[in-house]
């Protein structure tokens, strides 16, 4: 609504959600976002709390909260931890909650609010030292009045500590029930990919669980800017990452097919699974496909394979790649169940996906490939690349400044392996955070085996701290190795861009 809600719009949407089966499907929170508060810079003269925009809401917000609750939903509000709320007018004329947290929490309680989105609008997207202080104030006051849920919406911005930078997955623990893992979403697949890349390290971090949920921002399903298949993949990704599924479109204008995406009960069930365990990236084949998987509370497995080529093609899943001999597979887009299979294939459109639930899983006996690791700092370094100290690295050092205008490079020699084609393991750091309108939370490297063809490889964001946030064991399928003599692996940047920093590389012995 572009920060311009009003009584009639909200009434219509509440009724449409209930009548359209959304509440029954599990959409149980109704959140009013920016635009509900007065635009005159004045607080309530009696209570001192934020004042309502009475032009937009002549009867106030309580009747709307009552309506939502009568339809089976819980009421959620929006506020700001700073001086001003978000608004389409710049600078914003709408007050925030800074230094008024107690009276604003009291006001939210009068509306029977159960969840508050707390933003920090107009703050720069750079590390700060006051995040925890600001958000803790509102968290304490909400708990005091019995409001159980709060989203810290700080756009994935890091908190600056004496030991380095921390992402919101870390610094929001104990002061919220959910946290924004990234900057705002916007129209287009590029924004989905940017957030999706940032979610990779968050999902792997182990910080997500009951009472601490990563929020990937609003759903763009139903809005312009993406194909139907991109919207479906977007929904499946958010659902399996255990993000809040917050609709942000006019549901009265949606097609039946788009509504079917939003009402996919199988994906909603995975999203609401009691374990609150997100899928994790198993492997990326750069520019081709991603494979994600995650355990569910009852022992089933959620699997998502995403096309990155953006062409119509067949996606194939070999269960052996997940350490599984056989399983029953349910296609969550069609509902078709196939019993006792070892693989699954299906044709998808560009940026389409396989969204699957595996049950009756027969796992293969545990076995691990014998990897030999080479410290990258022992390689031959040239063209501006250099060795840097690294607290979290296996050898306390890493190689950085790879790529750039001088095309820094490192070559690992005397590499011996028993496999000509294999999944090579990379331990790397990429703390180059991309925000809306900026990067896409990945760095690319050009990798060559034995002076063979250069392979462009994506290395997604690994965290915020260039000294400690290492993505360990990132699998990259490489070919061209000799099994009867030594090999070399060359790593550099792509174009004038920087590659990630590297700790070590593992090959199968």
pLDDT in tens, 164-178: 999 999 999 999 999
Nearest to 202 by CA among 379, 441, 382: 441
**Tell me, what's the pLDDT at 121?**
82
**Tell me, what's the pLDDT at 417?**
98
Using an 8 Å Cβ cutoff, are 314 and 354 in contact? no
Query: 445-477 pLDDT, tens per residue?
Result: 999 999 999 999 999 999 999 999 999 999 999
Quick one: residue 175, left, alpha or beta (phi over 0 = left, psi -120 to 50 = alpha)?
alpha
Nearest to 411 by CA among 480, 340, 487: 487
Radius of gyration in angstroms for the set of CA atoms belonging to the chain, rounded to a whole number: 25
Using CA atoms, how far residue 54 sits from 61, 77, 105, 112, 218, in Å, is 9, 16, 20, 19, 27
Which of the four pLDDT bands, split at 50, 70 and 90, describes residue 327?
Answer: very high
Name the token pair of 141. Answer: 């006051």
**Tell me, what's the pLDDT at 26?**
97
Using an 8 Å Cβ cutoff, are 78 and 34 in contact? yes
Query: 400-412 pLDDT, tens per residue?
Result: 999 999 999 999 9
Name the token pair of 433. Answer: 């955070």
Long-range contact pairs involving 450-453 (C-beta distance under 8 Å, separation at least 24) = 450/480, 450/481, 450/482, 450/487, 450/488, 451/488, 451/490, 452/479, 452/480, 453/480
Is residue 2's pLDDT more than 90? no
Nearest to 348 by CA among 335, 358, 359, 333: 333
**Tell me, what's the pLDDT at 56?**
97
Which of the four pLDDT bands, split at 50, 70 and 90, describes residue 441?
Answer: very high
CATH numbers and ranges of domains, the chain: 1-12+35-154+162-180 (3.20.20.70), 280-363 (2.60.40.1180), 371-508 (2.60.120.260)
Distance CA 105, CA 299 (A): 40
Is residue 421's pLDDT more than 80? yes
**Tell me, what's the pLDDT at 124?**
79
Which of the four pLDDT bands, split at 50, 70 and 90, describes residue 100?
Answer: very high
Nearest to 120 by CA among 142, 162, 92, 148: 92
SS3 372: strand
Distance CA 300, CA 298 (A): 6
Average pLDDT on 34-61 reads 97
Exposure string for 64-89, b = 16+ CB within 10 A, e = fewer = bbebbbebebbbbbbbbbbebbbbee
Distance CA 188, CA 356 (A): 24
Which of the four pLDDT bands, split at 50, 70 and 90, describes residue 91?
Answer: very high
Name the token pair of 144. Answer: 């005091």
* Mean pLDDT value across the chain: 97
8-state DSSP, 410: E
**Tell me, what's the pLDDT at 163?**
87
**63: which residues sit within 8 A by CB, 6+ positions away?**
none
DSSP character string of 186-205: -SSHHHHHHHHHHHHHHHHH
For the chain, the straight-line distance linking the first and the last C-alpha, in angstroms and rounded, comes to: 58
Is residue 95's pLDDT more than 80? yes
Query: 197-216 pLDDT, tens per residue?
Result: 999 999 999 999 999 999 99
Distance CA 399, CA 503 (A): 7
pTM of the model: 0.97
Average pLDDT on 32-41 reads 96
- What proportion of the chain, given as a percentage, has pLDDT over 90? 97
Is residue 123's pLDDT more than 80? no
Count the helix, strand and coil residues of the chain and give each as a percent rounded to the nearest 5. 20, 35, 45
Is residue 96's pLDDT more than 90? yes
Is residue 429's pLDDT more than 80? yes
């Amino acid at each position: 609504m572009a920060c311009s809600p009003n009584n009639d719009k909200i009434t219509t949407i509440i009724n449409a959600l209930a009548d359209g089966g959304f509440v029954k499907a599990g959409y149980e929170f109704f959140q009013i976002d920016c635009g509900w508060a007065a635009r005159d810079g004045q607080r309530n003269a009696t209570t001192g709390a934020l004042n309502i925009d009475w032009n937009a809401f002549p009867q106030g917000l309580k009747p709307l909260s009552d309506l939502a609750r009568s339809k089976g939903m819980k009421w959620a509000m929006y506020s700001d931890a700073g001086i001003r709320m978000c608004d389409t007018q710049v600078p914003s004329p709408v007050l925030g909650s800074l230094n008024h947290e107690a009276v604003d929490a009291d006001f939210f309680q009068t509306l029977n609010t159960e969840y508050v989105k707390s933003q920090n609008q107009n703050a720069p997207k750079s590390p700060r030292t006051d995040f925890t202080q600001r958000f803790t104030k509102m968290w304490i006051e909400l708990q005091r009045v019995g409001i159980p849920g709060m989203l810290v919406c700080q756009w994935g911005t890091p908190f600056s500590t004496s030991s380095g930078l921390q992402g919101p997955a870390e610094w929001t623990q104990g002061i919220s029930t959910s946290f924004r893992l990234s900057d705002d979403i916007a129209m287009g697949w590029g924004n989905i990919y940017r957030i999706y890349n940032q979610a990779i390290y968050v999902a792997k971090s182990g910080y997500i669980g009951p009472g601490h949920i990563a929020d990937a921002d609003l759903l763009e399903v139903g809005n312009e800017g993406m194909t139907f298949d991109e919207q479906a993949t977007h929904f499946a990704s958010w659902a399996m990452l255990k993000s809040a599924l917050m609709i942000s479109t006019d549901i009265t204008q949606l097609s039946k097919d788009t509504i079917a995406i939003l009402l996919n009960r199988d994906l909603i069930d995975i999203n609401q699974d009691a374990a609150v365990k997100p899928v994790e990236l198993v492997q990326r084949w750069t520019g081709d496909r991603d494979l994600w998987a995650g355990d569910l509370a009852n022992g089933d497995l959620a699997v998502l394979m995403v096309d990155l080529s953006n062409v119509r093609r067949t996606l194939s899943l070999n269960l052996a790649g997940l350490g599984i001999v056989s399983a029953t597979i349910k296609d969550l887009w069609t509902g078709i169940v196939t019993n006792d299979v070892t693989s699954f294939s299906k044709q998808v459109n560009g940026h389409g996906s396989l969204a699957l639930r595996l049950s009756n899983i027969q796992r293969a006996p545990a076995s691990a490939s014998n990897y030999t690791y080479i410290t990258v700092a022992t390689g031959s370094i040239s063209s501006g690349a250099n060795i840097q100290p690294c607290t979290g690295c296996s050898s306390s050092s890493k190689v950085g400044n790879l790529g750039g205008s001088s095309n820094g490079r490192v070559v690992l020699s005397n590499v011996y392996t028993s496999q000509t084609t294999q999944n090579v393991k990379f331990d790397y750091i990429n703390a180059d955070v991309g925000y809306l309108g900026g990067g896409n939370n990945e760095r690319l490297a050009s990798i060559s085996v034995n002076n063979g063809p250069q392979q462009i490889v994506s290395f997604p964001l690994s965290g915020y701290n260039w000294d400690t946030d290492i993505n360990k064991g990132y699998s990259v399928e490489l070919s061209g190795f000799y099994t009867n003599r030594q090999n070399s692996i060359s790593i550099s940047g792509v174009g004038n861009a920087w590659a990630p920093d590297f700790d070590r590389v593992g090959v199968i012995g």
